């Protein structure tokens, strides 16, 4: 069974009474809980990995931030897993949060660590052990606790820049693409997004409550030889940021468009100091994130707003179904083929969430592994200045390459891990941009000449 741990609350007990003059301001609460499953499970990622999990290098965590504006309540849940849990799992968590704490919407994202357990496509799982139910209960309690301890809050954003990785699809002079897994000499590559986007949430007295860090890079410092659970470099980043704030704030890593981005020291052999390079990667990102977070001046608003929309977009299969199933069976095995059969029957349904906080901070999600261009495109075209991009959120439809990347080929661009139509990622970004314009009241369903 899951290891027994307590939910750790991050809150300010000085704020027993709301400050005057805040009106219907923003409220926030944060919590974290360990979700490390038992050993002996198949691990996520790396088809070449032999054996099951044998131990725990560092604990896997779920981190929760609850934001409230009037009757609207959002819970952001980030888990140290390879991808989000099954659709039915998310549905049950949302039902619990709505009934228990009146949470309007729960957004579930994964850090994409490749050193966590495999995620099963059905809930409850048909095969033992059922470690997922324990995780569901723990996170449900963490959401309730974050809501119950929510306080008047202030919010702010800031940006930095650091490189911890490279683009792993290297274009060659002849127009082909080669796999560029590890880059120990840090040779420059493109495209890569060095932007470190930080969202800081404080209590009304200015004490830090949560630090959200949005960045794009695969958590694969550890490779297939690692058989111990680990959050990989995002866990080190979280720890580095929290230490910089004397452990008063909860750090949360929001994985971005890392579909084609590897850390410099990717899949580093354990015998060649992989732990050291994981720490180097996480600390390098964490120090920059902490520097940015300390410089942010958070602000309160008289009347807070929280706009949230999730819509399901339907996409077609990119490949000829029967040929694709043959490839999946050959590359990934019978269970993967069964998963494909389910998706084929149900259709490729992509839940896409858009969030707008106080009409100036936007978040969008993709249910899978987006290429980094989408993150940069979203930030450049979003109608508000502060735009955060979350991959691996609310579902998993494999890779989302750009159309150009899909035409060039390579892993994540034109192999069996990539099965959604090539323009899906671009359409999702367009959809999120439109939703933000609508939330701002700048797009209407009534023609202008009828408004006069």
The string of pLDDT tens digits covering residues 207-220 is 999 999 999 999 99
Number of Cβ within a 10 Å radius of residue 259: 33
**Is 408 in a helix, a strand, or coil?**
helix
Question: Token digits for 442?
Answer: 């700048």
C-alpha to C-alpha distance for 178 and 162, rounded to whole angstroms: 25
The upper half-sphere exposure of residue 134, i.e. CA atoms within 13 Å in the direction of its Cβ, equals 16
Residue 369, domain member (yes or no): yes
What's the chain's Rg over C-alpha atoms?
Answer: 21
Q: What is the dihedral of CA 276, 226, 113, 122, to 10 degrees?
A: -170
Residue 202, domain member (yes or no): no
Residues in the chain, pLDDT under 70 = 1-23, 344-345
Question: Token digits for 252?
Answer: 């949360």
CA 76 to chain centroid? 10
Strand partners, 388: 363
Residue 329, domain member (yes or no): yes
Residue 341, domain member (yes or no): yes
Residue 167, domain member (yes or no): no
Closest C-alpha among 416, 178, 408 to residue 318 = 416
C-alpha to C-alpha distance for 53 and 51, rounded to whole angstroms: 7
Q: What is the dihedral of CA 293, 296, 297, 300, to 10 degrees?
A: -70
Tokens 């996520």: give the residue.
44
CA 224 to chain centroid? 22
- List, in order, residues 6 or more apart from 251 with CB less than 8 Å away: 63, 210, 211, 212, 213, 237, 238, 239, 240, 241, 242, 286, 289
Q: Which DSSP state fits 407? A: H
Q: Are 363 and 388 in contact, with CB atoms under 8 Å apart?
A: yes
Instruction: Print the domain residue range for 416.
Output: 306-439
Residue 387, domain member (yes or no): yes
Q: Tally the domains of the chain.
A: 1
Question: Token digits for 32?
Answer: 């974290």
Number of Cβ within a 10 Å radius of residue 428: 24
At 445 the pLDDT is 85
Strand partners, 399: 369
pTM confidence score: 0.93
Cis check: omega of the bond before 191, within 30 degrees of 0 = yes
Handedness of CA 245, 247, 248, 250 (dihedral sign): positive
Q: Are 82 and 51 in contact, with CB atoms under 8 Å apart?
A: no
Q: Are 136 and 93 in contact, with CB atoms under 8 Å apart?
A: yes
Question: Token digits for 137?
Answer: 């209960």
At 331 the pLDDT is 78
Residue 288, domain member (yes or no): no
C-alpha to C-alpha distance for 319 and 426, rounded to whole angstroms: 18
**Farthest-apart Cα atoms in the chain, separation:** 73
C-alpha to C-alpha distance for 228 and 40, rounded to whole angstroms: 10
C-alpha to C-alpha distance for 159 and 163, rounded to whole angstroms: 14
Residue 427, domain member (yes or no): yes
């Amino acid at each position: 069974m899951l290891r027994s741990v307590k939910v750790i609350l991050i809150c300010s007990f000085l704020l027993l009474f709301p400050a005057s003059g805040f009106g219907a301001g923003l409220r926030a609460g944060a919590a974290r809980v360990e979700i490390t499953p038992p050993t002996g499970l198949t691990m996520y990622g790396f088809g070449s990995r032999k054996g099951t999990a044998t131990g725990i290098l560092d604990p896997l965590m779920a981190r929760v931030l609850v934001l409230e504006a009037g009757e609207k309540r959002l819970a952001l849940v980030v888990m140290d897993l390879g991808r989000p849990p099954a659709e039915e799992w998310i549905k049950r968590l949302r039902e619990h949060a709505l009934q228990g704490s009146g949470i309007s919407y729960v957004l579930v994202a994964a850090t994409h660590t490749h050193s966590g357990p495999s995620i099963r496509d059905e809930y409850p799982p048909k095969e033992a052990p059922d470690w997922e139910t324990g995780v569901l209960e723990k996170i449900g309690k963490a959401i309730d606790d974050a809501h119950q301890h929510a306080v008047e809050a202030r919010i702010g954003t800031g940006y930095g820049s650091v490189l911890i990785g490279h683009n792993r699809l290297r274009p060659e002079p002849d127009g082909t693409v080669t796999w560029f897994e590890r880059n120990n000499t840090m040779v420059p590559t493109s495209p890569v997004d060095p932007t470190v986007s930080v969202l800081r949430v404080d209590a009304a007295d200015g004490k830090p409550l949560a630090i959200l860090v949005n960045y794009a890079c695969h958590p694969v410092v550890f490779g297939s030889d690692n058989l111990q659970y680990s959050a990989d470099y995002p866990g080190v980043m979280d720890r580095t940021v929290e230490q910089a704030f004397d452990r008063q704030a909860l750090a949360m890593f929001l994985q971005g468009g890392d579909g084609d981005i590897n850390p410099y020291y990717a899949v580093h052999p354990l015998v060649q100091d992989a732990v050291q390079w994981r720490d180097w990667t996480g600390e390098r990102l964490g120090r920059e994130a902490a520097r940015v977070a300390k410089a942010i001046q958070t602000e309160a608003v008289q009347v807070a707003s929280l706009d949230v929309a999730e819509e399901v977009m339907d996409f077609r299969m990119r490949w000829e179904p029967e040929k694709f199933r043959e490839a999946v069976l050959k590359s990934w095995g019978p269970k993967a083929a069964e998963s494909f059969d389910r998706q084929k029957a149900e259709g490729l349904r992509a839940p896409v969430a858009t969030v707008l906080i106080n009409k100036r901070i936007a978040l969008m999600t993709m249910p899978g592994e987006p290429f980094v261009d989408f993150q940069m495109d979203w930030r450049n075209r979003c109608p508000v200045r502060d735009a955060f991009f979350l991959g691996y959120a609310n579902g998993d439809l494999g890779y989302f390459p750009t159309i150009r990347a899909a035409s060039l080929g390579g892993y994540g661009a034109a192999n069996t891990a990539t099965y959604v139509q090539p323009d899906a990622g671009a359409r999702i970004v367009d959809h999120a941009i439109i939703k933000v314009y609508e939330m701002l009241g700048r797009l209407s369903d009534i023609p202008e000449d009828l408004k006069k």
